[in-house]
A and B are shown apart, each in its own frame.
Chain A
Amino acid sequence: MNRGVKFLTASVQQRDVLGLGLMGLLVATAVAAVSILFSQSMKEAALKRFHLASDSFPQWAVHQMVPSMYNFENRIKFSNVIDAEGKFDATEDSYFEDTLNHFPARFITFGDQRHVFSQDREGMFEMVSAFGDTVLVSRWNLKRRQPNQLTVERVEQKFHRRDSKDGVRSSDE
């Protein structure tokens, strides 16, 4: 704390507005980071951020300042086809699932994975991110509207509660 007090005192003496501003920004970002432990709405906002599902792009962009390396439990699924009940068929050739460290949406937006599953075909992509008792499930329909373009259609976004044994209990949204 002593170094922090000295920083504040010296910054005021030096009239270092930028230094004080940067410190304020860091403290505000730290509060935003910690708030997911106590605030359900911040928790949900953080999960939505991971699924590119924030209420608006500017809100998401501001949220991007909060460091989030290896956050949450993130799983993805993809298959070219799903059954009539909307379930994935794990025996289907194109089906795969994986665990990701953060930003599960990157499986579509980043890297060369899209070439693996987008050869002449469309498919369903599912992201599941969990933090504490809150789980967010999002589904994207991926379509090739043009031969060289992959279009994302958001078809589902649901919050669930899970109990301590990882069971999904109820749907909130």
Chain B
Amino acid sequence: MNNSNDVRVEEPMTTLPDHGQRQDALALLKVVLVGILVSLALKIFAFILFDRLNEALPIVDSFFPIFFRSQRVARVAYLVACCGCLFAIFTSEQRHLIAATVLLLGSLMVLSVHQSGFNDVTFMSCAWTAGWCVWISTRLHEPFETLFPRAVWLSHLILSLIFLGGAVGKVTQGYWSGQVLFDIYFEKRDFWFYNIFRWALPAEQLRQAATVHSRMVIAFEFFCCFLWLMPARMGSWIAVVMLCGIALTNNFLLFSVVTCLTGLALVGLHQSKSAREVLKST
């Protein structure tokens, strides 16, 4: 019974998702979790090697608190991240998913500021991706038609931030002139992409190629800062191509960094009856 003095409070949508819709939401989450697990798995041999080295000849740097210098902490955080991710992939219970993804996020955050892991962008990109996983784990009760577009946009916002961080730090003469990439890659890196350049071009043209390549990298990274403004599927395709392109043309080891992000990009390419209906209506 309403009268003019009643204050109308907009209620959140209470329609619960049907089984199929919940499965769609879970599918989005699982794809991203698999991406994180692959990223972490690709690190395992390097992690074991560096773990042994750090144990044999530890670095004592007072900048890091003892907790974040301890190799045991790094070991436990890495194991917890892998186990939490694996568990989340195989469970469908919302409470378990929330707990597992929070654990995953926490352990990745520890690794991102740990003395033996801070420099590894894999942990940072996995941490941002895990943040998205925590969020969607808490939204599984939501109707898919409102959840899906939001999940895609949030994934594009995260990807845009990753590209933005890369692009902004290259606005400096060393990258604009191509000198940095020349020193790191064109001059000596034994990788198919750069080997072709060295084989095909004389020294002077090789230096010019580095300049062109470096400027293209900056331009593409800035372009990808705007994934969040692009149509959903287009943004996802561009992100997938760019991320895979980075690893394929620079260093296969970079797949540990880009696989979790590729999983995030795949969210926008999700195809199901529910997703198609949502995309049609938007």
Contacts and interface: CB of A to CB of B under 8 A. Distances in A.
A148 B1 CA distance: 79
A37 B146 CA distance: 37
Interface in B91-132: 112-113, 115-116, 118-121, 124-125, 128, 131-132
B119 A73 contact: no
B228 interface: yes
A148 B53 CA distance: 11
A14 B13 contact: yes
A57 B10 contact: no
Given A61-B113, A132-B173, 17 more contacts: A3-B228, A11-B150, A13-B13, A18-B138, A26-B157, A26-B161, A37-B168, A52-B64, A64-B113, A66-B165, A69-B169, A109-B115, A115-B53, A148-B56, A148-B57, A149-B57, A152-B62
Given A14-B12, A114-B53, A34 B154 contact: no
Given A16-B139, A103-B118, A109-B119, A152 B61 contact: yes
26 contacts: A3-B232, A7-B149, A10-B150, A13-B10, A14-B142, A14-B146, A19-B154, A22-B135, A23-B157, A37-B168, A60-B63, A64-B118, A64-B124, A66-B165, A69-B162, A69-B169, A71-B166, A71-B169, A72-B169, A73-B175, A111-B53, A114-B59, A148-B56, A148-B57, A152-B62, A164-B173
Give me the 10 closest cross-chain CB pairs, A-B, nearest first: A71-B169, A67-B165, A73-B174, A106-B119, A99-B183, A103-B119, A152-B61, A61-B113, A69-B166, A151-B60
A23 B154 CA distance: 7
Q: Give the most central of A60, A131, A148: most B CB within 10 Å.
A: A131
Q: Give the most central of B156, B164, B172, B183: most A CB within 10 Å.
A: B172
Contacts of B142: 14, 16
A17 to B, nearest CB: 9
Interface in B154-184: 154, 156-158, 160-162, 164-166, 168-175, 179-180, 183-184
A81 interface: no
A84 interface: no
A158 B112 CA distance: 26
Contact of A10 (B149, B165, B174, B232): B149
Contacts of B13: 13-14
Q: Give the most central of B59, B119, B153, B179: most A CB within 10 Å.
A: B119
Interface string B54-75: 0011111111110010000000
B16 interface: no
A13 B146 CA distance: 10
Q: Give the most central of B132, B170, B232: most A CB within 10 Å.
A: B170
A166 interface: yes
A45 interface: no
Interface residues of B, number: 67
Contacts of B56: 148
A64 B2 CA distance: 52
Interface in A77-108: 99-103, 105-106, 108
B115 A67 contact: no
Q: Give the most central of B53, B128, B170, B173: most A CB within 10 Å.
A: B173
A166 B180 CA distance: 13
A73 B166 CA distance: 13
B216 interface: no
A143 B211 CA distance: 40
B49 interface: yes
B149 A33 contact: no
B252 interface: no
Contacts of B166: 67-71
Given A13-B10, A22-B135, A4 B228 contact: yes
A16 B154 CA distance: 13
Contacts of A68: 165-166, 169
A34 B164 contact: yes
Contact of A6 (B59, B149, B169, B180): B149
